[in-house]
Amino acid sequence: MTVTGSGTCSDKIEVIQGDITALDVDAIVNAANTRLLGGGGVDGAIHRAAGPELLEECRGIGGCPTGEARITRGYRLPARWVIHTVGPVWSGGKRREPELLASCYRSVFQIASEKGIKTLAFPAISTGAYRFPPDHAASIAVQETCAALERYPEIEKVLFVCFDSRCLDAYKKALAG
């Protein structure tokens, strides 16, 4: 299923349901942890699909703080690049979780712009193992993406990739404003 947004920023946004590792875009975003050495969820799926060279490159990076991002090649993935970002673990919302999640999106877009990336796909960062409420996370994702698309008009397409229908509903609501 595909939901296309309407309005100025959302002309470039699409919400789809599926596996992010299958997408033929310039870059896919990984919801990683601070060690950057793989894990479960989307992180595990990306490492499995990219192959062991990805872990090798990640080892050389030496980790990433929460709210920041790092880029690697995509190796066996259809995507040329993987931008790894570390979302906050939700613990009630009083530990700057919303700010840290917003910072993930900003960091990813900054790197994307530096690398000339024109199409990129995000998973719902922090909404799995890290338990960030999906509606709140989707509204931060849409807000930061709209701001970034104004700032970096050369970015052509942003896909939000959902695994389940709860995630899809959250993005539909967030895009409806």
Q: Which of 3, 20, 29, 101 binds ligand AR6 (CB under 6 A)?
A: 20
Let me know if 24 is a catalytic residue.
no
Draw the binding track, 46-85, toward ligand AR6 (x: CB under 6 A; -: no contact).
----------------------------------------
Is residue 21 near ligand AR6 by the rule CB under 6 A?
yes
Percentage helix, strand, coil for the chain under 3-state DSSP, each rounded to 5: 40, 20, 40
User: Is residue 93 classed as helix, strand or coil in its secondary structure?
Assistant: coil
Is residue 33 near ligand AR6 by the rule CB under 6 A?
yes
Would you list the DSSP string of 36-103?
A: -S--SHHHHHHHHHH-HHHHHHHHHHT---TT-EEEEE-TTSSSSEEEEEEPPPPSSS-SSHHHHHHH
Query: Which among 56-64, 92-100, 141-149, 159-167 is the span making contact with ligand AR6, rule CB under 6 A?
Result: 159-167
Interface residues with ligand AR6 (CB under 6 A) are 19-21, 31-33, 39-43, 45, 87, 123-130, 161, 163-164, 167
